[in-house]
A = this chain, B = another copy of it.
Amino acid sequence: MSDPLRLGIAGLGTVGVGVVRIIRQQAALLEARTGRKIIISAVSARSKGRDRGVSLSDYGWEDDPIALATRDDVDVFVELMGGEDGPAKAATEAALKAGKDVVTANKAMLAINGQALAELAEAEGRVIRYEAAVAGGIPVIKALMEGLAGNEITRVMGVMNGSCNYILTRMENSGKTYQEIFAEADGLGYLEADPQLDVGGIDAAHKLAILSAIAFGSKVDFDGIQLEGIERVSIEDIRAAADMGYKIKLLGVAQKTGRGLEQRMQPCLVPDTSPLGQLDGGTNMVVLEGDAVGQIVLRGAGAGEGPTASAVMADICDIARGVRGPVFGQPATSLATSKAAQSQLPAPYYLRMALVDKPGALAKIATVLGEAGVSIYRMRQYEHEDSSAPVLIVTHKTTHAALQDALSNMDSTCVMAGAPVALRIEEG
C-alpha cells in the first residue's frame, strides 16, 4: 500500500463541500479503487465560521489559499475558488512551483490562462487536471483526451450551459418571452452572480475553448471564439423554428478548417429529432466526432454539488493512481497557435423576416438571395400581421460571407419591415 494522497482544498462552496463529503463517506471505496488512502490535510475558504453542513474539524485551516497550496502536508492542491485570475491563479502557480499537482474546476482560469499554467506545470513536472471544468459530471475531458486518443478529431459540439438551455426550453414550453423567463430563472437562483456569464455565452465559451485546445492540439484561444449569447433569441424564433422542425440551442462548435480553427458559441437551430434537439432543461450534452470513432454523444448533469464533485474526484483518483500527462494532452510547448477562422464552412441558415405587404416583395427577396448565391431549401409565408408578412426561409448550405452579402443587400430592396433574423442550422 502506497502512502496516502494528501489534499489541500481551497474553496468550500457547493463543489468544495461535495468533495469533502465524498472523501468522508466513500473512504473505503476510494482506497479500494486507487490503492491509497485519500485524505484532506487542510482547507481554505473566505469564512472560517460558516456552517457548511459538513465537519471540518479534522482538517487544518488556512485563511490564505497560497499558504494552503504550499503546505508540506499537501500533495495535491484542489482549487475550487473560481475566477480567471486573482487568488485562484496565484495559488495554482504557487502550488505548481512548490511541487504540488493541481485539480481545478475553474474553466475561466484555464480558458484565459491555461497555456501559461500548462507551461508552468510541465516545466515543474506537475499535472493540472480539470474534468470538472467542462460539462460538470460528464467525463468529457477524459473521453476526448484519452478515450479518443487514436482519432483525428473532426468536430466538437455541445450544449454546455444548463442555465441557457433551461431558459430556452422554458420559453418553448411556456410561450413566454426571454425577459420573462430570464427573470424567473434569476429568481430561482439558476444564474451566476453576473448573469452575463451564463446568458452571454461566456461560461459555455470558456468550456469550448478548453475542449478545442485538447481536440485540435492548439493553444487554448478564448478570444478566437465567435461569441453570441441568447439574449436576442425571441419567442417568435423559437416558435418558428419549432414549426420548421428545429429547436434553438446555445451551441458551441469547434472544428478545424483549411483556414484555421473555427470556434463558435451562438444560438443555432438543430433538428428536433437529433440528440441535441431532444436535450431539454438544465442537462448538458457534448458531441465528439473523430475520423475513426464517428460520433460519440455524452449527456449528463452539467452543474450541481454531486456531479461537479464527482468530476473533481475522478481527477484526484487518477492522480492517486499515478496517472500523469500533459495538461492539454500534448506538451504545452508543442501546441499550435491556430488562426481563428470565421465560419468558412457552409451551413444551412434559418432566416426570419417581415416583408411589407406589397406585390412582388417576396420575389425581390428571393432575387437578392439568388444573386448572392444563396439558394432556398424551404420557405413559408404566414398570414399577414398588421401591414407586414412574416416569412421563414431555410436555405441550402451557404457560406457565412454569401449570407451576409444577401442580408446587406436586402436593406436596399425597400420591402423589409424590420431587420431580418439569421441563425445557423447545425446538422446532427
Against B, the Cβ 8 Å flags (1 = close, 0 = not) of A313-351 are 110111001111100011100100000000000000000
Which residues on B sit within 8 Å (CB–CB) of A324? 321-322
Task: Tell me the smallest distance from the CB of A407 to a CB of chain B, in Å.
Answer: 36
A309 touches B150 (CB 8 A): yes
Interface assignment of A32: CB less than 8 Å from any CB of chain B: yes
Interface assignment of A191: CB less than 8 Å from any CB of chain B: no
Interface assignment of A6: CB less than 8 Å from any CB of chain B: no
A299 touches B316 (CB 8 A): no
Which residues on B sit within 8 Å (CB–CB) of A330? 32-33
Interface assignment of A399: CB less than 8 Å from any CB of chain B: no
Task: Tell me the smallest distance from the CB of A126 to a CB of chain B, in Å.
Answer: 16
Which residues on B sit within 8 Å (CB–CB) of A321? 323-325
> Smallest CB-CB separation from A304: which chain B residue?
B294
Interface assignment of A184: CB less than 8 Å from any CB of chain B: no
Complex: A414 Cα to B314 Cα, angstroms: 58
Interface assignment of A152: CB less than 8 Å from any CB of chain B: yes
**A301 and B294 in contact (CB under 8 A), knowing A149-B313, A150-B26?**
yes
Interface assignment of A87: CB less than 8 Å from any CB of chain B: no
A293 touches B307 (CB 8 A): yes
Interface assignment of A226: CB less than 8 Å from any CB of chain B: no
B18, B296, B299, B318: which contacts A296 (Cβ < 8 A)?
A: B299
Against B, the Cβ 8 Å flags (1 = close, 0 = not) of A119-144 are 00000000000010000011100110
The binding surface of chain A is classed by DSSP as mixed
Interface assignment of A295: CB less than 8 Å from any CB of chain B: yes
A33 touches B313 (CB 8 A): no
Interface assignment of A419: CB less than 8 Å from any CB of chain B: no
**A148 and B139 in contact (CB under 8 A), knowing A292-B306, A294-B306?**
yes
Task: Tell me the smallest distance from the CB of A311 to a CB of chain B, in Å.
Answer: 8
Interface assignment of A151: CB less than 8 Å from any CB of chain B: yes
> Smallest CB-CB separation from A32: which chain B residue?
B330
Copies in the complex: 2
**A151 and B296 in contact (CB under 8 A), knowing A33-B329, A142-B139, A278-B278?**
no
Which of A30, A293, A311: most chain B CB closer than 10 A? Answer: A293
Task: Tell me the smallest distance from the CB of A304 to a CB of chain B, in Å.
Answer: 8
B290 touches A150 (CB 8 A): no
B30, B146, B322: which contacts A139 (Cβ < 8 A)?
A: B146
B22 touches A150 (CB 8 A): yes
Which residues on B sit within 8 Å (CB–CB) of A22? 150, 292
Interface assignment of A49: CB less than 8 Å from any CB of chain B: no
Interface assignment of A297: CB less than 8 Å from any CB of chain B: yes
Complex: A421 Cα to B242 Cα, angstroms: 39
Task: Tell me the smallest distance from the CB of A347 to a CB of chain B, in Å.
Answer: 23
Complex: A241 Cα to B26 Cα, angstroms: 41
B30, B295, B301, B325: which contacts A150 (Cβ < 8 A)?
A: B30
Complex: A130 Cα to B231 Cα, angstroms: 46
Which residues on B sit within 8 Å (CB–CB) of A35? 331
Which residues on B sit within 8 Å (CB–CB) of A291? 306
B29, B137, B142: which contacts A142 (Cβ < 8 A)?
A: B142
Which residues on B sit within 8 Å (CB–CB) of A143? 139, 142-143, 147
Would you mind naming 17 contact pairs between A and B with Cβ atoms under 8 Å apart?
A30-B149, A33-B149, A35-B331, A137-B294, A139-B146, A139-B147, A149-B317, A150-B309, A150-B310, A150-B313, A150-B317, A151-B310, A275-B278, A291-B306, A292-B307, A296-B300, A298-B298
Seed contacts A143-B143, A293-B307, A293-B310; 7 additional CB < 8 Å A-B pairs: A18-B292, A29-B217, A139-B146, A294-B301, A294-B306, A299-B299, A323-B323
Q: A residues near B, CB below 8 A? A: 18, 22, 26, 29-30, 32-35, 131, 137-139, 142-143, 146-152, 217, 275, 278, 290-301, 304, 306-307, 309-314, 316-318, 321-325, 329-331, 334
7 A-B pairs with the lowest CB-CB distances in the bound complex, closest first: A150-B313, A139-B147, A293-B310, A149-B317, A137-B293, A292-B306, A296-B300
